[in-house]
Amino acid sequence: MKELLKKLDRVLEEEKKCLLDGKYTQLESLVEVKVQLSDAIASQASILTKEAIVYIDKKLKRNEALLQSAQRGIKSAMAHLHEVAENPFQSYTKDGHRSPLAREKKVSQNL
């Protein structure tokens, strides 16, 4: 059991590192390992100590908060990119407020 907990701890630390480093594509493989280890630990749950449960739960909650934060950041970035695509001619005033840039008017010459 102790070895399973150590492996899960290493996976949770690796998951944390991926979340902090923005390496989101690596999370999928970690989830698979995490599920396998969690299932193996759950099958022996009756011999888990309260301290072990609290320790792992704390790390799981930390990683969940990091994941939610990453998701909010990605959604915010996507919304900003969409906004820039829709309104590309904007700037900021000296007070920090958004202001549309004046587009150059095309002058047509009548010959």
Contacts of 52 (CB under 8 A, 6+ apart): 5
Question: If you compute the radius of gyration of the chain from its CA atoms, what whole number of angstroms results?
Answer: 25
In the predicted model, is pLDDT for residue 26 greater than 70? yes
Res 66: pLDDT: 96
Say if residues 34 and 27 touch (Cβ distance below 8 Å).
Answer: no
* Three-state secondary structure call for residue 75: helix
Domain range summary for the chain, segments of one domain joined by +: 2-86
pLDDT per residue as tens digits for the range 33-57? 999 998 998 888 788 888 988 999 9
